[in-house]
Chain A
Amino acid sequence: MTTPKPALSRTFFDAFWIQNTGLVVLLGLCPLLAVSSTVINGLGLGLATTLVLIISNLSVSLARGLLRPEIRIPAFVLIIASAVTVTELLMQAYWFDLYRVLGIFIPLIVTNCAIIGRAEAFASRNGPVASLVDGLGTGLGFCLTLVLLGALREFLGQGTLLADAHLLLGDAGQALTLTLIPDHPGFLLALLPPGAFIGLGLLIAARNAWQHRKQRLLVSQAGGTATAHDRNLHAQV
């Protein structure tokens, strides 16, 4: 949004990392915290959300010339609800076991503020290609957060990584499960909701530390002329 037509790679990186839904904008926390108990659950919901974001961003962008301001929001809601239901049906048909694990959180993707947020803040003002890239970036960014938090919680809580991979990948996934701590007695806190909050806090802190370090390096290299990237955090809830 700083330049009239930023490069697609810039659009992607902005959505994926600079404005990461889970770690920076802090939207969609309800599914994020609820489903991130294992890597596979996180990955499943992350990919489903990505698909919804791509469909909704693309549709909103295509319809943006027609949408008058007063019907904008109801139109977004209709589009997003359709996209979520399509995704739900597809998952039910092709990833039935995972669908059963994720359960209510699939239809609840519709309430993920990140989706209507991107429709409003990006797709309604940009062309279909850029919007598609933005949807992909936002979705994969959300997915990244889910997977990282899932890995953290699964490792600490059960001592495994990628448990139940067959839910997502079929029988081939069975071999992917890594038992990193054999006979792990289980660390319940990591699996319960407080563990999700603490884990997310740690991830946000880690990301901030990383960004600060990078910024300091940039500043010292450029002799203090580097400008901080314009972060649009207006959509906080």
Chain B
Amino acid sequence: MSGASTSVAFWRSGLLLGLIALLGVALLVGVYDLTRTRIAAQEHQLMMQQLSEVLPRSYYDNDLVSDVTTLTDRGAFGHDRPIRIFRARQNGQPSAVIMEVVAPDGYNGDIRLLAGISQDNRITGVRVVSHRETPGLGDPIERRRSDWIESFRGRSLSDPPVERWTVRSEGGDFDQFTGATITPRAVVHALARALAYHEQRSDKIFAREADRDDA
């Protein structure tokens, strides 16, 4: 094979590969464009649905999704993960927050929660957003598997008293699951920390600048 024909074959292959890549990109751009608004709407709807499960709609009249502030506080939460806080306002006055609470000490990695906390420091609702706890043992923290997570509704750090914010086997007020203590304990402790943070720093949370639109 002569040098010239090798280089012709070389260029042909390269161009062909480029052409296939180009076609692939064109296809993806087309499908992306067709599905983009629908996907954004689905995600927004999911977000709103999750938020409304932890904080009743009657608590706020502002656009919750755009009134968000993100902070980290190792001292208060025991971890460095950024915490997003949605700020609910009624007629411009602070009425509640929804915090993205992380329980870093679960059985298997982070347990991410959404917790609604009203201005009187009571929990309005909690949902698990994601976790990797053992299926069948740790997953009753999910609402669709049990109503355990509902036991936090209306609770505050004086109900039960703060030292009883743990699982029953440790003298607390919250049930553990058969075969799983670590998972519920991690959730209970994370919520207690979130309540304590809110109690002390509610004003500061509302005084913070809102995050720039990152969507």
Contact = CB atoms under 8 A, between A and B. Distances in A.
Interface of A: 37, 63, 66-68, 70-71, 74-75, 78-79, 81-82, 85-86, 89-90, 92-94, 96, 100, 157, 186, 188, 191-192
A192 B108 CA distance: 14
Given A82-B28, A86-B28, A192-B135, 12 more contacts: A71-B16, A71-B17, A75-B17, A78-B20, A79-B20, A82-B27, A86-B31, A89-B32, A92-B39, A92-B42, A93-B35, A188-B134
Given A68-B13, A75-B16, A93 B24 contact: no
A70 B28 CA distance: 25
B76 interface: no
Contacts of B31: 85-86, 89-90
Nearest to B38: A93
Can you list the 5 inter-chain pairs with the closest CB atoms, starting with the nearest?
A82-B24, A93-B35, A96-B42, A93-B38, A188-B136
A100 B43 CA distance: 10
Given A86-B27, A90-B31, A90-B35, A66 B136 contact: no
Interface of chain B, helix or strand or loop or mixed? Answer: helix
A82 B21 CA distance: 9
B12 A92 contact: no
Contacts of A70: 13
Nearest to B19: A66
B135 A37 contact: yes
Interface string B136-160: 1100000000000000000000000
A19 B57 CA distance: 55
Contacts of A75: 16-17, 20
B17 A89 contact: no
B215 interface: no
A26 to B, nearest CB: 25
Contacts of A100: 46
Interface in B99-156: 134-137
B17 A157 contact: no
B1 interface: no
Nearest to A188: B136
A76 to B, nearest CB: 10
A166 to B, nearest CB: 11
Given A82-B24, A82-B27, A192-B135, A96 B17 contact: no
A96 B41 CA distance: 11
Given A66-B16, A78-B20, A90-B35, A96 B46 contact: yes
Contacts of B14: 71
A163 to B, nearest CB: 10
B9 interface: yes
